[in-house]
Structure 1
Amino acid sequence: MNENYPEVPDNGNLDPEPTVVNSSETPTNLQQTTPYLVHIQTGKTIELPEQEGAEITLGKPNSNHPPDIDLSDFPDAAIISRQHANIHIEAETYYIKDLDSSNGTYVNNNPVPTGEAQELSAGDIIALGKEDKVTFIFKIP
């Protein structure tokens, strides 16, 4: 036995097989604790606020009304409008609304009518524009 390590007594209680723990079940400092979006094309995450009444605008910068979440650095951002969509919270439920964007907003491949709030559920796929070029998964930890 190596002199640098203390000897562990063999009392017969040690499991000879290692236990594998699924990392998604083990909390870490890196895990999200608030609802968030995962950009499918890059894996980047965007944390969403939890406050009742919060409104978050998704889009690209413009001098008059910069978005809360700037998507201009994401791949295929050219299809995103300056004020593309809005996510808001009512009674602990998240909703998305298309802000009359040029290329539309889609939830699970269904268009969100302009100005109408679409309820979001965990796992929903949100596409900004057609052809799923800028796509997110809505996650609730």
Structure 2
Amino acid sequence: MKKSNFRPSKGRPALPADERKSIIVPVKFDIDSYRQMMDKAITAGLNRSEYIRQISVKGKVVERLSPRDVKVIRDLQGIASNLNQIAKFVNAIIKGGATEDMFMRTWKEILENKVFVQNLIMKYRNEADSV
């Protein structure tokens, strides 16, 4: 007779033994050292355990990207995509013969991207001043 699992397990599946963090290392701090360590962990955007793990293994802690930095990267990726599309379009114009309408369209897209980049620069400069 086949058994059915009417109640599947809940939660996250267990990690394999080689990936599991199973060794606990107790660490004691005095109040001043603990505050200093927690300030650094918060600045790096890490929790206490992850901060201690990184600093002990790597000797340095790499800060996570701030939401602002992530947004800048996404915006720059969008610009790169737009420029790539324009380059492909210009290449197609050169290979297939160009009309005045195609040149005007390409020129307009380049100017729009230029304005977009200038607006991004002003936006992030203003945000940096206010932070």
Q: TM-score, normalised by structure 2?
A: 0.24
Higher relative contact order (Cα pairs below 8 Å, separated by 6+ residues): 1
Larger of the two Rg values belongs to structure: 2
- Identify the structure with the greater strand proportion: 1
Q: TM-score, normalised by structure 1?
A: 0.22
